Amino acid sequence: MSAAPKAYDLRDNQERAEVAEILSELAPDHLARKAFAEGARTAELVRLVNDRPDLVERLKRAFLAGWHRILDSETDVPPA
């Protein structure tokens, strides 16, 4: 199940793929998977899997890695 990016979604394709892979460990009808399919942000998904510390940690890592990629790509832009 892959989420369709929303206008406010700052995730890159790599983060989306990582989150989908992490959530694949959950039952297909789990609230986190449904929320992801509807475009919920990674930070919102953490709240929905708080009973699974292993998934919380992996989601946090995916979020932070994605954020660092965004920041790194912004520093690569030449000044106007």
Reported as a single tens digit per residue, the pLDDT across 43-57 is 899 999 999 999 999
Residue type, 54: D
Better-predicted residue by pLDDT, 57 or 11: 57
Reported as a single tens digit per residue, the pLDDT across 66-80 is 888 888 876 655 655
Average pLDDT for residues 30-46, to the nearest whole number? 94
Work out the percent of the chain whose per-residue pLDDT is above 70.
79
Q: Look at residue 7 in the predicted model and tell me its pLDDT.
A: 47
Domain locations in the chain? 13-75
Cβ atoms of residues 40 and 46 within 8 Å:
no
Cβ atoms of residues 33 and 66 within 8 Å:
no
Among 70, 71, 49, CA closest to 19: 49
